Amino acid sequence: MGTILEIQHVSKFFGGLAANSDVSFSLEEGMIMGLIGPNGAGKTTLFNCITGYYPPSRGDVIFKGQKINGLEPDRVCRLGMVRTWQKVRPLAKLSVVDNVMVGALCRTNSLKTARELAMEQLKVVRLDNKPNFLAGGLPIGERKKLEVARALATQPQLLLLDEVMGGLNPAESDEIIQLILDIKKRGGITQMVIEHDMKAIMRISDRIVVINSGEKLAEGTPQEIVNNPEVVRAYLGDFHA
Amino acid sequence: MKLTFALIRTSAGTSPVATALGVAILVGLFLFPNFVQSPYALHIMILFFLSTIQGEAWNIIGGYTGQYSVGHAAYFGAGAYTTMVLMQYKQIPPWYGMLAGIGIALVVSLIIGSICFRLRGPYFVLASIAVAEIMRLSAMNLKDLTNGAEGILITEIPVFKIGETVVTDFLSKVPFYYIGLVIALLTILVTWMVQNSKLGYYFQAIREDQDAAHSLGISLSIYKNIALAISAVFTSLSGSFYAIYIGFIDPPTVLALDISVQIVLICIIGGIGTIWGPVIGALVLVPLSEALRSNLIAQMIFKTGLTSEESGLGIFLKEHLAHAHALIYGILVVVVILFMPDGVLGWIKKLTAKKGRG
């Protein structure tokens, strides 16, 4: 098991504000890494730095041994790293299967192959019953699944999920948890998950990184994280620690 | 031929009635000049083809890729001027001029694309207008090359020969009719091919959400430029065709902002991002603007007997309706945009869908 992603001393400044400052950690192949932290801690900014939407102000992002900071998101995707969006971004006027095909076309030029790959991924997220629905008309739970299917269709080795359970009811969340665990079981895809639902993140993560005010606060197994007084203080304040 | 059938079949559904209708229309279009000799009717048809070409061309970048260029006069003018300048000063026949026009338009599109595609939304629209205006002002002032505001007039088109056989001498409108028809069919075919390929999927993904498209491995700069290049090629072709057909160009008729707006309107009225939208748009707009310009509407009102030609209102209509054509045209466009947000094609689709359910 090698290291698939290394984040080395990454900082991102917006003017004088440090959205991320000196964050370092690495991901082993096949694991699920949980990324947690209070609102505004800089989790999504870190995702944006890793996937090429912002170049990091300082530090390096190393994917499969290759330095990728400064690469455009489309290049990063073709290298095998794909992300989903916290605020879902369906291609609203395209059908569900067409949405996923756009992802699949990253690896093939044939529409026929892309359609087969897309249907496969729709089966994985259990959306294969409505391939011809317009993506814009799906309820939020299914839009989140569509995001995942579309990302999977690009055949990534590293999948970054930005709050895929946000806004879902418990039953839908459970489905997504199962989906993430299934992806891990099938192998070949490492996952990094931003999530606010503590029960969910504790259940799925092999390791967890906690970010607070842009800095890495702690890293460890879920058990270590819940027992870390610093983490409890960040979430609940001094009184509870 | 196989492709033509496939084209008709996929776009009209698999219904055999629709296929038969498509073939009938196609055959009818090719036989049209055999039955109709009126130069005015042919002229209207040629304008219809011209608008279809322009509309389909803009549709690729505006309708499919969602980049609302309001500067397509730049490519229209590039085609028109290249063809005319080469014919005027170098006696190069227009078919070679057309090809040269395509080359120039491609270069212009790559320059415009690499600058303007850094901008998004309304900023891109403004930049596209600005670039077209630069082209217009250049054509105005580069008098040695373009003849400035006087424009370029050609009185004779070289006879089109293959080997020693004379194909056509361009003395009637019929050859123009067929050239227009073939180019129009070609643009529809290309649009169909784009829609049913990876390009079409990528263009539409960019239209729906640029950031999402970017994250799925789509290079925004490359695919936007491809879309603009395809669009520029056909817009330039329409410009060359217009120049040869009319025989006269000057900056206001081929490079002005209202040409750009007109091109956009064909798509918006017909329905953007669909193969047949621009055809419908041309079908609505060309007869409409002709009818308004030629006072046909006033004549029709007199015929229905609503008011007589001698009454005060009648005289007023006769005097002013033709002059007000731009106003009426504008009002109609606003009405269509307000009440048919998906264009005439979208409106028809909605109506037939309702009927199907009821």
Taken in order A103, A104, A109, A113, the sign of the CA dihedral is: negative
Closest CA to B128 of B77, B73, B75, B69: B69
Yes or no, beta carbons of B204 and A94 under 8 Å apart: yes
pLDDT tens, residue by residue, A120-132 = 999 999 999 999 9
Helix (H) or strand (E) holding A7: strand A3-14
Q: How far apart are CA B69 and CA B61, in angstroms?
A: 8
pLDDT tens, residue by residue, A136-167 = 999 999 999 999 999 999 999 999 999 999 88
All domains of chain A in start order, with CATH:
1-80+157-241 (3.40.50.300), 84-155 (no CATH)
Q: Inform me whether the pLDDT recorded for A31 exceeds 60.
A: yes
The string of DSSP letters for B228-251 reads HHHHHHHHHHHHHHHHHHH-EE-H
- Which of B202, B214, B219 is nearest residue A105 as measured by Cβ atoms? B202
pLDDT for the residue numbered B12: 47
Q: How far apart are CA A136 and CA B349, in angstroms?
A: 19
Q: Tokens 């080359």 correspond to what residue?
A: B103
Q: How far apart are CA B324 and CA B321, in angstroms?
A: 5
Strands laid side by side in the A32-36 sheet:
A81-83, A158-162, A190-194, A32-36, A207-212, A215-220
Q: Inform me whether the pLDDT recorded for B152 exceeds 60.
A: yes
- What percent of chain B is predicted at pLDDT more than 90? 54
Distance between terminal CA atoms of chain B? 38
pLDDT for the residue numbered B253: 92
Q: How far apart are CA B258 and CA B280, in angstroms?
A: 20
Yes or no, beta carbons of B211 and A89 under 8 Å apart: yes
- DSSP type of residue B158: P
Q: How far apart are CA A123 and CA A219, in angstroms?
A: 35
Chain A positions with Cβ closer than 8 Å to B:
51, 53, 72-75, 77-78, 82-83, 85, 89-94, 98, 101-103, 105-106, 109, 111, 114, 150-151, 154
pLDDT for the residue numbered A91: 95
- Which of B204, B214, B220 is nearest residue A91 as measured by Cβ atoms? B204
Which residues of chain A neighbour B217 with C-beta distances below 8 Å? 74, 77-78, 82, 103, 105-106, 154
3-state secondary structure of A208: strand
- Which of B196, B207, B215 is nearest residue A83 as measured by Cβ atoms? B215
Average pLDDT over chain A, rounded to an integer: 93
Alpha-helical segments (H) within chain B: 2-11, 16-35, 39-58, 73-90, 94-116, 122-141, 143-146, 174-195, 198-208, 210-215, 220-246, 251-254, 257-270, 277-293, 296-304, 312-320, 325-339, 343-357
Query: For the residues A56-72, what does the mean pLDDT come to?
Result: 93
Q: Specify the higher pLDDT residue, B329 or B115.
A: B115
User: What ipTM goes with this model?
Assistant: 0.92
Q: Inform me whether the pLDDT recorded for B141 exceeds 90.
A: yes
Contact B209/A at CB under 8 A: yes
Which residues of chain A neighbour B215 with C-beta distances below 8 Å? 51, 73-74, 77, 82-83, 85
Q: Specify the higher pLDDT residue, B168 or A194.
A: A194
pLDDT for the residue numbered B9: 47
Q: How far is CA A152 from CA A104, A155, A188, B3, in A?
A: 8, 5, 11, 34
Yes or no, beta carbons of B197 and A106 under 8 Å apart: no
pTM value is 0.90
Domain boundaries, given as residue ranges, for chain B:
39-256
Q: How far apart are CA B186 and CA A56, in angstroms?
A: 47
- What percent of chain B is predicted at pLDDT more than 70? 94
List A134's β-bridge partners, or say none. A95
A32-36 and A17-28 beta bridge pairing: unpaired
Q: How far apart are CA B180 and CA B245, in angstroms?
A: 10
pLDDT for the residue numbered B357: 58
Burial string for B305-319 (b: 16+ CB within 10 Å, else e) reads eebeeeeeebeebbe
Which residues of chain B neighbour A150 with C-beta distances below 8 Å? 216
Dihedral angle computed from the Cα positions of residues B207, B212, B214 and B217, in that order, rounded to the nearest 10 degrees: -110
pLDDT for the residue numbered B358: 47
Q: Which amino acid is at B81?
A: Y
- Which of A51, A90, A101 is nearest residue B215 as measured by Cβ atoms? A51
A158-162 and A190-194 beta bridge pairing: parallel
